[in-house]
Every structure is written in C-alpha cells, then in structure tokens.
Structure 1
Amino acid sequence: MKPFKIDNKKRRIQKKLFLGEFAMLGFDVSCDTKIKDFDNYDMFVDEFIDYIDALDLSFGGGGLELFEGFICHAERYKSVTNEQQAQVVSWLEARKDISAVRVGELVDANYF
C-alpha cells in the first residue's frame, strides 16, 4: 500500500486514517517451541495471553511448533512501547518451552 502524505491532511482526517500522532505501532513476534501436545500448548497460550493482557496489549496469531503473530496495544490510538516489547521478549526467553525468539521492529499496525 502506498504511504499517505500527512502534511496535506487535517488532524481530523489523520485521526480517521490512523496517521501521524494517531498511528498505532506494533510488532511481529515468532518463537520456536518445544511443545508437542495440545494440553501444554493450551496452558502456554493461556499464560501468554494473560501476560499480554496485563501489559494492555493484544495478540493475534498462534501455532504449535512455530508460534507467531502480531502484538499491538489494546487501546485505540496507542502504540506499543520499546519497554513493552522488551518485556514480552524477556518473558518468552525465560520460558523453558521456548527455544528461540524473534521480534520485528515497531511498525504501523494499520499499514504494514
């Protein structure tokens, strides 16, 4: 998708299009898991979503051996911070059932 010019748009239009100060930043996350059965997978996903919710973030994605998705802020017009991104990475790396964690840089969640 072609990027929008911001300088020729009024603030009201920027808000409707999630541009400029209204952009919502998020990031891709993927990790290799050692999880082989669905009971442990369900437990991992429940714990991960609880942790993400505690940080006021949202996650979309999944997968058993390759767990991947996108994380953005749960509130409208808010962005994920570098600190929140680092917290998610630390939480994933601290788990014994995760072997490798990869994250992307913060990107505009509406136009990536």
Structure 2
Amino acid sequence: MNSLLRFLVIAAGLALLAVGLAFALVPEKVSADFAVASTAVAGMGTLRANLGGLFVAMGAFALAGARRGRAHWLAVPLAIVALILVLRVGHVLIDGTSEAAMRSSVVELVLVALFAASRRRLAAA
C-alpha cells in the first residue's frame, strides 16, 4: 500500500510540476484549459509567476514528501489544494456550477485524499 501511495504522490507531483512549467513557459497554450486569459503583458506575468509558481511549488513539495522519511512535506500541497477546494465550493455557491467547476472539484478532492492519506501512512512507515 505504501509503495502505491508513494507512486501516486510522485505521479501527482510530476503532473503538478508539468502544469506549473507549462504556465511558466507557454501560458498561452495552457491558460484556455484553465479558463483564464491574459489581457495584457502584466496578465502574462500573472499566469507565468502566480499560477506557474503555485503549481511548481505544489509539485515540488509533493515530490519532496514522497521521499522516505519526508512525508511531513505533504502538508504543504495538502493545505494548498484543500484551500483551493474550499474556495472552489465558494465559487460554486456564489457563481453557480459548471462542468469545469465539477471536474476541477473532483481532481482537487482526489488530491486532498491522496496527500492526506499519504502523509498519514508514509509518516508511520
């Protein structure tokens, strides 16, 4: 079970890193997938730095937490994704639901469950 959790955390960490690097390097190609758009040069900076940095940080801390004896680092991506999920619920309550919001919520729920379970199980290993 621990090997499976470690594998899934590594896969999630690599995926998060890939998204972060895509936002940092080619935001115009990935921004539509996230329903965001840049309207000026400053907006490109926001996509590259804010979104790119957020995803790179989550991926890096997930990978750090996947190492033996380092599960405590999973608290970082767990806290970030949990907060994103809480704010997503607020978005749905305020703005209404959409297919994209539901899809994102499912991904965020899965990541919260994965990081929480992995943090608990891998710390005890």
Q: Which has the higher strand share?
A: 1
Same fold (TM over 0.5): no
Q: Which has the higher helix share?
A: 2
- TM-score bracket, normalised by the shorter chain, equals 0.3 to 0.5
Q: Which protein is bigger by CA-based radius of gyration?
A: 1
TM-score (norm 1): 0.36
Greater relative contact order (CA < 8 Å, ≥ 6 in sequence): 1
